[in-house]
Structure 1
């Protein structure tokens, strides 16, 4: 499938959150917390006890449509950066990536950048969903994350 030239395959959103990076990172790195702030309304649940600690970790998530996803962590720096590639269980990730970057501004404020990168996505069935993942949806996740982190 050829995408129109104006179709962005890397979408990002950023916001400053009034919370320490460590507080925000815990909400992202613990998959059981992710359905609480998912702005795509795509995540239903994740078993507890899967907190990510390193590149190479894999965590399991159930989507709102009832599908299970294994998320392969491909980037990890504690309290600063985490990225994963979702896949159907036992399958190779089809090429999309979710990334979170946290840049502390001071002890109680953090710039949070959320990126969805589908430049390597080759599964034709997933292209429409990828195209529907807009900066507004990424902002919705950041806003929900902010509400949780700032409430601590």
Structure 2
């Protein structure tokens, strides 16, 4: 059944990565690095020099289909948590959120939690893609992030 009632609007995955939280966080908080680990294969490029450092910042990204997105940072704690709401340039975010949370488990061990939350998404055109953003796709991003951050 494809009824919205049966589709989770918050998708979360967890994985332990054998790397320090600071190393992992650098890959997430620097938008220029994001296309390297994007499991949705949706991100093409981001200009260098946009490293996120605070709530309220906006970074831009070009998608693989050519569109530009502004990403409004709504949660930020250095080395631990970052979340943003994407939007078309000059528009208010339509209601979906990408969140990353890092928990230090010990030296060189970090629990990474990745969440896609579209509970506030009202744009019907975007809901088709939101429904297709499954745990497997989120885990794809976490797995790629692990490959990059675990390299010595």
Task: Report the TM-score when normalising by structure 1.
Answer: 0.98
**Following the alignment from structure 1 to structure 2, what is the Cα–Cα distance between the partners of residues 85 and 63?**
15
Show the 5 A alignment for 1:2-151: 3-151=3-151
Secondary structure at the counterpart of residue 5 of structure 1: helix
Runs of at least 5 residues in structure 1 that lack an aligned partner in the other structure: none
Structure 1 runs, 4 residues or longer, greater than 4 Å off: none
- Give how far 1:6 is off: 1.4
**Following the alignment from structure 1 to structure 2, what is the Cα–Cα distance between the partners of residues 6 and 135?**
15
- Give how far 1:5 is off: 1.5
Runs of at least 5 residues in structure 2 that lack an aligned partner in the other structure: none
**Following the alignment from structure 2 to structure 1, what is the Cα–Cα distance between the partners of residues 19 and 84?**
23
- Give how far 1:11 is off: 0.2
Q: 1:125 to 1:28 in 2, by over 3 A?
A: same
Structure 1 range deviating more: 3-12 or 33-42: 3-12
**Following the alignment from structure 2 to structure 1, what is the Cα–Cα distance between the partners of residues 139 and 33?**
17
**Following the alignment from structure 1 to structure 2, what is the Cα–Cα distance between the partners of residues 107 and 58?**
32
- Give how far 1:3 is off: 4.6
**Following the alignment from structure 2 to structure 1, what is the Cα–Cα distance between the partners of residues 89 and 106?**
40
Secondary structure at the counterpart of residue 120 of structure 1: coil
When the two chains are superposed, the root-mean-square deviation of aligned CA atoms in Å is 1.0
- Give how far 1:4 is off: 2.7
